[in-house]
């Protein structure tokens, strides 16, 4: 039997035949906020259709103005530019794909003054307060969903999905937590589910039989006062009885304090929630979350947790995911590492999404790799993220690449990141790089130092220096004390930290080192350990499926320091920084801001805060004070008149981060 036979099996939703079980989930991309928005979306979706997705689901589009996510979000009503939607649907069809519109009423999560909800209670995560909808307005909202579904069909889309989970409007009506109404839409379970039933009925009446209506619901709310397992299952049955053709199962409300999709969540950790729903209905269940590999998806289908596998970010990381599965080259998949850095974090900073491992995502119009007109011989020095990316992109264009690495393995700083709890997905990046280098025939020379003489003698057409960075050693008296180590020595295992640790510097690396020293690696790979650590009740006996989290063990006393007198961790990722800070807080890590360092001696780290001298009595000090570029080779090459290109951390150490390094290397390799 074929390895991914289940993923590749056709299935029908309503009257729509799908060629396989791999669905691209709806994502906010913000491509519609750029110039040429329609062309960008056409190119974005068509690319993923060509890659073999069974069905594409659009970003959430509001059925009326009050339901917009942002003030500039699209609305699918009678005034909508239907021709634009027609072009998007046609582009997908021309590419051999299928596409459904997601209708999303943001409810009290709408980031604008006109947001509405079942009550006027404000969401913790929104600075705008909702206005309470009157019963008449709720009925109008029902009608608006019907109109939007009809328009989606008229525009040529293959189906509609309704966002009824994750804490948006419909979910707010369902939960007693947010619904305090005493009219026909509040009070009893029957009344709270009325909006859901009426919306499905209105849409069915508008689109007729067979046109797929997919109902996206939260299988576990992860907020106190959310649904129990029995209520969730009942809601799934109600949706089926009301006329939904498939259920798409999500997890958690956005305001939940439990991570749901970050890399700190074990793969397929939410499978249990989908299977409970699948057992309750006969229509197909689209499930999962934190599925980034075909093996994981195939297993979910084999175990009966879902009928189709929904993946969103993996389609940013690799639009050809299904095609590679079909062609038996799953090892070629550029795997989503669940970092959120270039997708969700950018989206929440009002930038269009792209992807850390695939900078082509969202840039389909301008970033195109074409075969080189005149293939060159290229030396790339350094096999960290920048050098690896450059080598692969240059080789893909037909250049002949030699990659020099002084270490005996590729990866550079990735080898440090991968040991941090919650970052083991970095292994997938390394696997992808290894496979691509081999398949493209890049001449990889490990444990080989590229000297100026060697590079000059081999007369390469082009030399690229991606030699990376070295840790900055801050000018603190006593910094040479034996208890002082740099972060790379600690993360690589070359040095071990004691029981009482001071961390000097609290950027991304300082936080990573704290988590490395305090965290439990099992929590991000073993679902049971994850549930216990975050207080998740998989049986969902408690409303919302939340329970008391296990108290984290405190193997060390750790204090983090920074000189800036501002909140620590302000520069961490918007969607992941809170997870890390919450874990470290629970592990008892202390955070000192506004410190100036006086000296290090046998007693520990002496510092001054608010004019008061103190001493942190520690047995280890770990330096996480940023990096400096290793650009010496580049300077030597220039001095000899050899033209070279400097990229990655070797170019700009101050902003060293994998996303920037990979993006820069990609752009430069396409210029070659």
Contacts with ligand NAP by CB under 6 A lie at 341, 472, 474, 504-510, 512, 562-564, 571-573, 624-627, 655-657
Q: What is the DSSP string of 286-321?
A: EE-SS--SHHHHHHHHHTTS-SEEEESHHHHH-TTH
Provide, rounded to whole angstroms, the least separation between the CB of residue 461 and ligand NAP. 32
Choose between 344 and 656: whose C-beta lies nearer to ligand NAP: 656
Using CB under 6 A as the binding rule, whether residue 74 contacts ligand SF4 is answered as no
Choose between 88 and 513: whose C-beta lies nearer to ligand NAP: 513
What distances in angstroms separate CA 39 from CA 69, 460, 530, one per listed residue? 22, 40, 42
Using CB under 6 A as the binding rule, whether residue 24 contacts ligand SF4 is answered as no
Q: Which does 656 bind (CB under 5 to 8 A by kind): ligand SF4, ligand NAP, none?
A: ligand NAP
Nearest-5° angle of CA 116, CA 122, CA 75? Answer: 30
# of chain residues touching ligand SF4 (CB under 6 A): 14
The angle, 0 to 180 degrees and rounded to 10, between the axes of the packed helices 385-396 and 658-671 is: 30
Burial class of 667 by CB neighbour count within 10 A (0 to 12, 13 to 18, 19+): middle
Residue 529: phi and psi, rounded to 5, are -65, -35
Among 285, 336, 378, 383, binds ligand SF4 (CB under 6 A): 336
Choose between 86 and 563: whose C-beta lies nearer to ligand NAP: 563
Three-class SS of residue 101? strand
Provide, rounded to whole angstroms, the least separation between the CB of residue 388 and ligand NAP. 17
Q: Which does 510 bind (CB under 5 to 8 A by kind): ligand NAP, ligand SF4, none?
A: ligand NAP
Among 73, 102, 179, 342, binds ligand SF4 (CB under 6 A): 342
Burial class of 626 by CB neighbour count within 10 A (0 to 12, 13 to 18, 19+): middle
Using CB under 6 A as the binding rule, whether residue 207 contacts ligand SF4 is answered as no
- What is the greatest pairwise CA distance in the chain? 84
Using CB under 6 A as the binding rule, whether residue 54 contacts ligand SF4 is answered as no
Q: CB-based contacts of 435: which residues, under 8 Å, 6+ apart?
A: 331, 332
Using CB under 6 A as the binding rule, whether residue 661 contacts ligand SF4 is answered as no
Provide, rounded to whole angstroms, the least separation between the CB of residue 560 and ligand NAP. 9
Q: Which does 508 bind (CB under 5 to 8 A by kind): ligand SF4, ligand NAP, none?
A: ligand NAP
Using CB under 6 A as the binding rule, whether residue 316 contacts ligand SF4 is answered as yes
Choose between 337 and 637: whose C-beta lies nearer to ligand SF4: 337
Provide, rounded to whole angstroms, the least separation between the CB of residue 632 and ligand NAP. 20
Provide, rounded to whole angstroms, the least separation between the CB of residue 497 and ligand NAP. 17
Determine the length of the chain.
672
Using CB under 6 A as the binding rule, whether residue 313 contacts ligand SF4 is answered as yes
Using CB under 6 A as the binding rule, whether residue 623 contacts ligand SF4 is answered as no
Provide, rounded to whole angstroms, the least separation between the CB of residue 662 and ligand SF4. 10
Choose between 538 and 648: whose C-beta lies nearer to ligand SF4: 648
Q: Which does 357 bind (CB under 5 to 8 A by kind): ligand SF4, ligand NAP, none?
A: ligand SF4
Q: Restricting to residues 112-171, which ones interact with ligand SF4 according to CB under 6 A? A: none
Choose between 338 and 560: whose C-beta lies nearer to ligand SF4: 338
Three-class SS of residue 236? helix
| Nearest Cα residue to 297 out of 332, 327, 335, 263 | 335
Distance CA 99, CA 30 (A): 18
What distances in angstroms separate CA 322 from CA 13, 308, 499, one per listed residue? 19, 13, 48
Choose between 208 and 571: whose C-beta lies nearer to ligand NAP: 571
Among 24, 164, 271, 317, binds ligand SF4 (CB under 6 A): 317
Is 19:66 a contact under the CB 8 Å cutoff?
Answer: no
State both tokens at 330. Answer: 């799953």
Is 82:151 a contact under the CB 8 Å cutoff?
Answer: yes
Q: What is the DSSP string of 513-548?
A: HHHHHH--GGGGT-HHHHHHHHTB-TT--SGGGB-P
Nearest-5° angle of CA 371, CA 373, CA 379? Answer: 80
Catalytic: 531? no
Choose between 166 and 425: whose C-beta lies nearer to ligand NAP: 425
Using CB under 6 A as the binding rule, whether residue 356 contacts ligand SF4 is answered as yes
Catalytic residue among 168, 390, 432, 597: 168
Provide, rounded to whole angstroms, the least separation between the CB of residue 513 and ligand NAP. 9
CA dihedral 628, 634, 635, 639 (to 10 degrees): 180
Distance CA 444, CA 447 (A): 10
Provide the annotated active-site residues: 168
Q: Interface with ligand SF4 by CB under 6 A: which residues?
A: 313, 316-317, 336-343, 355-357
């Amino acid at each position: 039997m074929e390895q991914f036979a289940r993923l590749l099996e056709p299935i029908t939703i309503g009257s729509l035949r799908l060629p396989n079980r791999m669905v691209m989930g709806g994502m906010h991309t913000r491509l519609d906020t750029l110039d040429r928005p329609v062309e960008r979306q056409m190119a974005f979706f068509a690319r993923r259709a060509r890659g073999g997705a069974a069905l594409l689901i659009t970003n959430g589009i509001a059925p009326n103005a009050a339901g917009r996510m942002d003030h500039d979000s699209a609305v699918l009503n009678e005034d909508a530019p239907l021709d634009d939607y027609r072009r998007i649907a046609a582009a997908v069809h021309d590419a051999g794909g299928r596409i459904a519109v997601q209708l999303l009423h943001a409810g009290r999560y709408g980031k604008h003054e006109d947001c509405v909800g079942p009550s006027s209670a404000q969401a913790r995560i929104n600075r705008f307060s909702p206005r309470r909808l009157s019963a008449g307005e709720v009925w109008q909202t029902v009608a608006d969903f019907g109109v939007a579904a009809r328009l989606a069909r008229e525009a040529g889309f293959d189906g509609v999905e309704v966002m009824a989970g994750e804490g948006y409007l419909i979910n707010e009506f369902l939960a007693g937590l947010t619904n305090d109404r005493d009219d026909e839409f509040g009070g009893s379970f029957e009344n709270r589910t009325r909006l859901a039933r009426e919306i499905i009925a209105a849409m069915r009446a508008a689109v007729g039989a067979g046109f797929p209506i997919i109902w996206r619901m939260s299988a576990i709310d992860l907020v106190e006062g959310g649904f129990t397992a029995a209520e969730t299952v009942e809601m799934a049955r109600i949706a089926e009885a009301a006329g939904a053709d498939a259920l798409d199962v999500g997890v958690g409300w956005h305001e939940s304090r439990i991570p749901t999709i970050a890399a700190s969540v074990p793969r397929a950790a939410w499978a249990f929630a989908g299977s409970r729903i699948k057992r309750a209905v006969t229509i197909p269940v689209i499930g999962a979350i934190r599925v980034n590999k075909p093996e994981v998806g195939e297993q979910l289908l084999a175990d009966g947790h879902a009928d189709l596998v929904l993946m969103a970010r993996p389609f940013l990381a690799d639009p050809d995911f299904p095609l590679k599965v079909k062609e038996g080259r799953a090892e070629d998949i550029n795997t989503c590492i669940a970092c959120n850095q270039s997708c969700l974090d950018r989206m929440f900073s009002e930038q269009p999404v792209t992807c850390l491992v695939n900078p082509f995502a969202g840039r389909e119009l301008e970033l195109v790799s074409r075969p080189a007109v005149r293939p060159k011989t290229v030396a790339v020095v350094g096999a960290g993220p920048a050098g690896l990316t450059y080598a692969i992109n240059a080789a893909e264009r037909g250049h002949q690449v030699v990659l020099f690495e002084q270490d005996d393995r590729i990866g550079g700083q990735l080898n440090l990141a991968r040991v941090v709890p919650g970052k083991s997905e970095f292994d997938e990046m390394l696997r992808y790089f290894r496979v691509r280098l081999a398949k493209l025939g890049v001449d990889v020379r490990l444990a080989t130092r590229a000297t100026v003489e060697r590079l000059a003698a081999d007369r390469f057409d082009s030399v690229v220096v991606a030699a990376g960075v070295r840790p900055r050693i801050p000018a603190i008296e006593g910094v040479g004390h034996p208890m002082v180590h740099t972060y790379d020595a600690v993360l690589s295992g070359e040095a071990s930290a004691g029981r009482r640790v001071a961390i000097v510097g609290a950027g991304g690396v300082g936080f990573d080192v704290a988590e490395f020293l305090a965290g439990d690696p099992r929590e991000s790979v073993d679902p049971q350990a994850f549930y216990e650590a975050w207080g998740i009740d998989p049986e969902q006996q408690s409303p919302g499926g939340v329970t008391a989290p296990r108290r984290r063990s405190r193997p060390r006393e750790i204090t983090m320091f920074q000189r800036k007198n501002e909140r620590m961790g302000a520069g961490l990722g918007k969607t992941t920084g809170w997870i890390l800070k919450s874990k470290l807080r629970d592990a008892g890590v202390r955070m000192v801001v506004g410190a100036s360092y006086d000296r290090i001696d046998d007693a520990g780290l002496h510092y001054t805060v608010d004019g008061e001298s103190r001493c942190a009595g520690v047995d280890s000090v770990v330096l996480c004070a940023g990096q400096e570029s290793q650009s010496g080779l580049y300077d030597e090459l220039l001095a000899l008149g050899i033209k070279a290109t400097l990229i990655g951390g070797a170019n700009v150490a101050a902003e060293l981060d994998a996303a920037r390094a990979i993006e820069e290397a990609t752009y430069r390799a396409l210029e070659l």
